[in-house]
Every structure is written in C-alpha cells, then in structure tokens.
C-alpha cells in the first residue's frame, strides 16, 4: 500500500489508527494529531451535506442527521473536487437506511433538495419574454407540433408523499401546524432569475413537462398528460411555466418531405 | 547548477499581478453588499472549485464583481502533491475559468487531496523527499503549461510529519520554485501554525524561504487544541480573527519583501463584511509602512 493510499484509508475507515511513518516532533502520540485530519475531512463533508439538505436535517434532527451523514461519508466519499455536487446519492442512501424508515418521505425530500441545488447552479439560458411566447402560441397554425424548450434548471419529481407541502412547511420559523404528508404530490423545481422556486403540481403536469423536455410536440405531450391525470389543466400549467420565464425556445420540427 | 525546466523564468512579482494591497475572500453572504456599496478593497479571491458550475448566482455575481475588482483564483482541489496523475478534466475546468474571468493570479497548495477516485476534501501532508520533489515539479510544470501562466504555490499548515522526509519543508519549496519558476503564495498563518506544531522558529522558517518569489500573502485565524502531551496544537480553520503573533510575523515578512498583495481569509464563522474590512485596513497599514 502506498503512503497516500494508507493515509486515505485511515482517514475514511472508522476507528482506523494513524498510518505508519508519521511522527510529531515533540514526541506526542501521532494518533492525537492524525485526529485533526480525520476530523477536518469528516466535518467538512458532513457540513456540506448539512448545507445542501436543510429540510432533510430538520425532519430527523441534528443528531440523527449527523450520524446518518457520517455513515454516508464513510460509504460514499466524494469522487470529485466539486463539492457542490457532493451528496447527489444521499437520497438513494436514505431509501436503504433502515433507521430512517420511520420517516418514509425523507428520501423524497432529499431528492427535492438535490433538485434545488442543481437548479441553483444550472446553466443560464435567456428565456423568451412572456409577450413573445403568447404571440407565437396564438399565431401558430400547427400548434400541436410545436416543440417547447424549457430552462436548463427545470426538473420535476413525483412522490407518493406530499413532499412540496412538507418542504414548504419548513421554510418558515415557528410551529408547524398539522400537516398531512400522506398523499401523492408532484414537484416542479426551477430557477427564476437568480431564485430557485418549488411548486406543487399534479401528475398530469409532471408528465406534460417531462414529455416536452423529451422533445415531444404539444399535442402528444397534452395527450400523455391527460392519460396520466384526467384533471390535467393545460392552461394552468402553461401559465405557471410562462409566468416564471421557464420557456426558452419555441419551434416547429423540420419538415420531412413525403 | 541546473537551469529551470519551465519557460516561466520571470519572477511572478515582475508579472502584472494583483495590486499591492489587501484583499478579501469573496463570500456569498457578501455578494450583494459588495455590489451595492463598492467597498475600497484591493482585490477579491475566490475558491476556483466553487465556480465550476454551469450558471446561476455564483457566475452572475462574480461576473459583476470582476468588472470592478482585481481577482485572485485560488484552487483547493488539484492535488498537486498527489501520487497519481493530475486530473486533466479538473485542469481543463481551471483553464475555462481563467479564460472567463482573467484573474490576476492563480494559486494552489503544496499538498495532496485526492487518492485514486476519492477526493478527500482536505489539504494533506507530503513526504518531502526526492520522489515527491520531482512529482510536484512535474505537476507544477503541467499546470503552468496548460494554463499558460505561472502559478503561485502555497506553503501548507501541517499537524504531523513524515518519517520518510529527507528535506526541510523550506528547502523543498525553494527547490520547486527554482525548478519550475512558479511563485510562492506565502500563507503566514500556515507558517505560524506549522512552526508551533513542529517546534520550529517561525521567523527562521520565513527567512529560509525564497522570498523574492512571493506573489501573494495569506493571513487567517487558527483554532487551538492540544495533543497527547498537552502541547499546543494549532489548527488552520480560517474561522477566527488573525492572531497577534501572525500579525507580527507578517510585519517581519514585509520588512523582507516590501509590499505584497495580502489576502484576509475567512471561510468559517464568516463575520459581517465590516469586520473583514477592518482586518484588511490593518493589513494595509502594515503595507503602507513598507511602501517604497
């Protein structure tokens, strides 16, 4: 084992001793000083998770979150120096983490919080101004074929739990009134200007937006949305997208000659 | 005597660089305040890795702040002392950032932080021997030729030493600078922390460095602990005001170097901007005393 391999191994392995070949010039036990490195590594990574998952942490409390994050850090240390991306697999870890099973929506809240981080750092793209979106929609003779490109920050999430309501209830201080998390809810996350926003949407809207993102035309996206939920409200969904500058491009597919 | 292997034989202090003033680490907490109040600060420094994102507020604010201030780009993830090859993707990201923001200075650490696929997110200590020396020099050469500019290498703060080391840290640093033509980012707090931890005289450590190559100085606060013998163990945590002993050492450095761009680093327990500004003013009062 190389010197750095042994050092890295000792940093990440629970209760590992100080790697050999290290010394303190005053003769102090190297382990008492190696502990500084170990603590630096673990506390910085746990703090990165604390910053990225504030509601996940609130739902289980500081102590539980720290213990869980510590196990995650040992099992899944970063594989990139881009710490803003660290923790992208925390939700999957929580899903399998038995002690967290008493909060069944915890993993989906973590998924939602990850989408918020991704939206915050997502690429910039100039949205179409709202007036020109409306003009193009009204003037288009082949509306059903229209392709709608959405902002790079925009993502959806579906959950069997009311994740947006749970998340929103933790955005203000004070006592949380009775909250029913036991119903299905979809989430839309996007960055509007510099601010990341979260909206509760129905499963029809989730399908509609996902189909648009996959390049489907309006007609097909609407049909699939209605299949997902008979209550899908196109007007409401488009209004939400347009009013938050989520549409960056409208175009018709290139004509294919017969 | 060997000639330097790098094309960068010009001392970084001779290259148009950061203004010879005090600068501050740019914290997201202070983005809007900086833009609204345009404080009289010599330059700002950012951690390169924080800006390796596609878009959003970080680039928005840094772009606006860069229009008005000189910028130092400070890397914390390149693992220049790593046993493995440098991460080419990461180097390419650095090149992209440098192209975008045209910083007056780029610096990285004499340390390692990655092993294999794992990034340990800390600046870990190197064994100072001939093998490490040639590896670090090769990596610094690679960075400078990829980025097409000289870099500054920062002296580390350490808590343990390697039995395998055959060179003093100061000799190791001097040799890297001589062979590669890179400059020195002299972190005075790191000097103090390491010297207390390893029972060295901080002034003697400073005097053993190639001070002609200093392109920037870092000042920061430390935390204090004790080791198994109950001796002081200083921890470079960037979470406290600059200690008096570090200010005194800084004054000593400046009498040897003359004015050097000086950064006040605070990454944890970030206080109000005015508190950091007061430390910057204090640094500038020392700088003005040695102005030529």
User: How confident is the model over A138-158, as pLDDT tens digits?
Assistant: 988 899 999 999 999 999 999
Interface confidence, given as ipTM, is 0.94
- Whether residue B112 lies within 8 A of chain A, CB to CB, comes out as yes
Whether residue B5 has pLDDT greater than 50: no
* Size of the A and B interface in Cβ pairs below 8 Å: 142
Question: Which whole-number Å values give the CA distances from B229 to A24, A28, B195, B233, B291, in the listed order?
Answer: 10, 5, 17, 10, 44
Give the rounded percent of residues in chain B with a pLDDT score beyond 90: 93
User: What mean pLDDT comes out for the span B197-216?
Assistant: 98
The answer to whether B56 contacts A27, with C-beta atoms less than 8 Å apart, is: no
- Whether residue B98 lies within 8 A of chain A, CB to CB, comes out as no
The span from the first CA to the last CA of chain A, in angstroms, equals 66
The answer to whether A5 contacts B116, with C-beta atoms less than 8 Å apart, is: yes
Report pTM. Answer: 0.94
Query: Which one-letter DSSP state was computed for residue A81?
Result: S
Question: Which whole-number Å values give the CA distances from A188 to A109, A137, A154, B266, in the listed order?
Answer: 13, 22, 7, 36
Q: What is the per-residue pLDDT for B292?
A: 67
Q: Contacts of residue B117 in chain A, CB cutoff 8 Å?
A: 79
State CA A257 to chain mean position distance. 42
- Whether residue B197 lies within 8 A of chain A, CB to CB, comes out as yes
d(CA B144, CA B83): 19
Three-state SS annotation for chain B: CCCCCCCCCCCHHHCCCCCCCEEEECCHHHHHHHHHHCCCCCEEEEEHHHHCCCCCHHHHHHHHHHHHCEEEEECCCCCCCCCCCCCHHHHHHHHHHHHHHCCCEEEEECCEEEECCEEEEEEECCCCCHHHHHHHHHHHHHHHHHHCCCCEEECCCCCCEECCCCCCHHHHHHHHHHHHCCEEEEEHHHHHHHHHHCCCCHHHHHHCCCHHHEEEEEECCCEEEECCCCCEEEECCCCCCCCHHHHHHHHHHHHHHCCCCEEECCCCCCCCHHHHHHHHHHHHHHHHHCCC
Among candidate residues B206, B160, B193, the one with its CA nearest the CA of residue A35: B160
Q: What is the mean pLDDT of chain A?
A: 95
Whether residue B14 has pLDDT greater than 60: no
The answer to whether A122 contacts B55, with C-beta atoms less than 8 Å apart, is: yes
Q: Is A121 in contact with B58 (CB distance < 8 Å)?
A: yes
Q: Which of A31, A36, A52, A197 to mutate to test the interface with B (most CBs of B within 10 A)?
A: A36
Phi, psi (degrees; rounded to nearest 5) at A249: -165, 135
Of B52, B119, B229, the CB nearest to A78: B119
Whether residue B59 has pLDDT greater than 60: yes
pLDDT tens per residue across span A199-251 = 999 999 999 999 999 999 999 999 999 999 999 999 999 999 999 999 999 99
Among candidate residues A42, A17, A43, the one with its CA nearest the CA of residue A31: A17
Among candidate residues B67, B69, B63, the one with its CA nearest the CA of residue B44: B69
pLDDT tens per residue across span B123-182 = 999 999 999 999 999 999 999 999 999 999 999 999 999 999 999 999 999 999 999 999
The answer to whether A81 contacts B119, with C-beta atoms less than 8 Å apart, is: yes
Q: From B224, which residue of chain A is nearest by alpha-carbon distance?
A: A36
The answer to whether A2 contacts B83, with C-beta atoms less than 8 Å apart, is: yes
Whether residue B8 has pLDDT greater than 50: no
Give the rounded percent of residues in chain A with a pLDDT score beyond 70: 98
The answer to whether B56 contacts A120, with C-beta atoms less than 8 Å apart, is: yes
The answer to whether B159 contacts A194, with C-beta atoms less than 8 Å apart, is: no
Of B118, B162, B227, the CB nearest to A21: B162
The answer to whether B113 contacts A81, with C-beta atoms less than 8 Å apart, is: yes
Among candidate residues B112, B18, B125, the one with its CA nearest the CA of residue B72: B18
Q: What is the per-residue pLDDT for A48?
A: 97
Residues whose CB is less than 8 angstroms from the CB of residue A200 and which lie 6 or more positions away in sequence, other chains included? A162, A164, A165, A185, A186, A187, A188
Sign of torsion over alpha carbons B263, B267, B272, B273: positive
Q: Contacts of residue B115 in chain A, CB cutoff 8 Å?
A: 4-5, 7-8
Give the rounded percent of residues in chain A with a pLDDT score beyond 90: 90
Whether residue A172 has pLDDT greater than 90: no
CA distance A198 to chain B (A): 16
Whether residue A258 has pLDDT greater than 70: no
Residues whose CB is less than 8 angstroms from the CB of residue B171 and which lie 6 or more positions away in sequence, other chains included? B128, B208
Of B60, B122, B227, the CB nearest to A28: B227
Question: Which whole-number Å values give the CA distances from A170 to A66, A88, A163, A177, B183, in the listed order?
Answer: 19, 21, 11, 11, 49
Of B90, B114, B159, the CB nearest to A36: B159
Whether residue A66 has pLDDT greater than 50: yes
pLDDT band at A1 (very low <50, low <70, confident <90, very high): confident
User: What mean pLDDT comes out for the span B264-279?
Assistant: 96
The residues that bridge with A33 in the sheet, in sequence order, are none
Q: From A5, which residue of chain B is nearest by alpha-carbon distance?
A: B115
Q: Contacts of residue A22 in chain B, CB cutoff 8 Å?
A: 160-163
CA distance A19 to chain B (A): 10
Q: From B59, which residue of chain A is nearest by alpha-carbon distance?
A: A121
User: What mean pLDDT comes out for the span A71-98?
Assistant: 97
Which domains are seen in chain B, by residue range? 12-287 (3.20.20.150)
Of A4, A23, A37, the CB nearest to B163: A23
Q: From A8, which residue of chain B is nearest by alpha-carbon distance?
A: B115
Q: What is the per-residue pLDDT for B291?
A: 87
The answer to whether B54 contacts A122, with C-beta atoms less than 8 Å apart, is: yes
């Amino acid at each position: 084992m190389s010197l750095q391999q042994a050092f890295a191994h000792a940093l990440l392995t629970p209760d590992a001793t100080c790697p050999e070949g290290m010394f303190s010039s005053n003769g102090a036990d190297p382990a008492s000083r190696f502990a500084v490195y170990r603590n630096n590594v673990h506390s910085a990574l746990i703090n990165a998770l604390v910053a990225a998952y504030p509601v996940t942490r609130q739902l289980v409390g500081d102590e539980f979150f720290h213990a869980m994050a510590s196990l995650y850090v040992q099992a899944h240390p970063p594989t990139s120096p881009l710490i803003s991306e660290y923790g992208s697999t925390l939700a999957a870890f929580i899903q399998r983490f038995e002690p967290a099973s008493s909060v069944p929506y915890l993993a989906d809240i973590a998924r939602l919080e990850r989408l918020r981080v991704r939206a915050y750092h997502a690429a910039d793209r100039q949205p179409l101004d709202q007036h020109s979106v409306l003009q193009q929609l009204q003037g288009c003779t082949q509306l059903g074929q229209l392709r709608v490109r959405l902002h790079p920050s925009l993502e959806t999430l579906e959950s069997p739990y009311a994740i947006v309501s749970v998340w929103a209830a933790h955005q203000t201080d004070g006592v949380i009134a009775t909250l029913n998390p036991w119903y299905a809810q979809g989430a839309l996350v996007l960055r509007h200007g510099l601010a990341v926003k979260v909206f509760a949407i129905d499963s029809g809207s989730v399908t509609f937006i996902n189909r648009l993102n996959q390049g489907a035309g309006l007609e097909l996206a609407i049909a699939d949305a209605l299949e997902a939920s008979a209550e899908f409200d196109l007007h409401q969904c488009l209004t939400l997208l347009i009013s938050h500058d989520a549409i960056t491009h409208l175009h018709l597919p290139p004509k294919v000659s017969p | 005597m060997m000639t330097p292997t790098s094309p960068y034989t010009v001392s970084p202090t001779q290259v148009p660089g950061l203004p010879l003033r005090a600068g501050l680490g740019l914290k997201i907490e202070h983005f809007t305040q900086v833009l609204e109040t345009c404080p009289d600060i010599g330059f700002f420094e950012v951690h390169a890795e924080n800006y390796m994102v596609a878009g959003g507020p970080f680039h928005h604010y840094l772009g606006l702040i860069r229009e008005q201030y000189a910028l130092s780009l400070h890397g914390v993830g390149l693992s220049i002392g790593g046993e493995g090859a440098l991460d080419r993707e990461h180097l390419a990201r650095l090149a992209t950032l440098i192209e975008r923001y045209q910083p007056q200075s780029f610096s990285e650490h004499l340390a390692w932080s990655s092993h294999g696929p794992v990034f340990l997110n800390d600046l870990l200590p190197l064994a100072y021997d001939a093998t490490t020396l040639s590896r670090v020099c090769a990596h610094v050469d690679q960075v400078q030729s990829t980025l097409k500019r000289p870099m500054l290498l920062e002296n580390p703060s350490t808590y343990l030493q390697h039995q395998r080391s055959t060179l003093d840290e100061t000799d190791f640093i001097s040799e890297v600078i001589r062979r590669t033509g890179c400059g020195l980012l002299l972190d005075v707090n790191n000097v103090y922390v390491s010297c207390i931890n390893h029972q060295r005289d901080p002034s003697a450590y400073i005097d053993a460095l190639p001070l002609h190559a200093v392109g920037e100085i870092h000042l920061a606060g430390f935390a204090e602990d004790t080791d198994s013998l109950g001796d002081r163990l200083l921890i470079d945590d960037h979470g406290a005001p600059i200690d008096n002993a570090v200010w005194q050492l800084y004054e000593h450095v400046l009498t040897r170097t003359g004015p050097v761009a000086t950064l006040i680093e605070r990454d944890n327990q970030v206080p109000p901007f005015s508190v950091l500004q007061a430390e910057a003013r204090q640094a500038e009062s020392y700088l003005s005393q040695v102005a030529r």
